[in-house]
Amino acid sequence: MEHYTIATVAEQSPDFRRVLWTGKHTQLVIMTIPPGGEIGEEVHEDTDQILTFVSGTGEAQVSGQKRQVAQGDLVVVPAGRKHNFVNTGPNPLVLYTVYGPAEHADQAVHQTKEEADAMEEAGKDEPPTG
């Protein structure tokens, strides 16, 4: 059994993205977006995503709609929808997200957005198959 005090684990991670757990159908990932930073506009064609915000403030952008997000908010991004999340506050925007199916390599750690983008571009951030 995996057990996390998820808000604490997420807030203690300085990494832009850290995969905590990967299962057969879902994946749990924590993220820390620095002030002024963003996830970057993207689309996951075959993957649903549920994001829960632990601390900080930001803006959710999903399919052309924008909403402010803060601690305790949850945003659902259905597969195939263009989305981005931007930190609009003075502190890190911390969240955890569940992908179904997995979106990233098992146990992947990306310290910065630039590192995450480079790993994805190089094809080294592929989810497990099978």
Is residue 63 in a domain? yes
Is residue 117 in a domain? yes
Is residue 127 in a domain? no
Amino acid at residue number 108: A
Is residue 107 in a domain? yes
How many domains are contained in the chain? 1
Is residue 90 in a domain? yes
Give, for all 130 residues of the chain, the pLDDT tens digit. 999 999 999 999 999 999 999 999 999 999 999 999 999 999 999 999 999 999 999 999 999 999 999 999 999 999 999 999 999 999 999 999 999 999 998 999 999 999 988 888 887 777 776 5
Is residue 126 in a domain? no
Q: In the beta sheet, which residues pair with residue 90?
A: none
Q: Smallest Cα–Cα separation from 70: which of 85, 83, 84?
A: 85
Q: Using the structure block, give the residue that is written with the tokens 């900080």.
A: 56
The CA distance from 13 to 6, in Å, is 11
Is residue 114 in a domain? yes
Give me the domain span that covers residue 53: 7-121
CATH of the domain at 11: 2.60.120.10
Is residue 130 in a domain? no
- The CA-atom distances, in angstroms, between 100 and each of 37, 49, 55, 59, 88 are 25, 7, 23, 23, 27
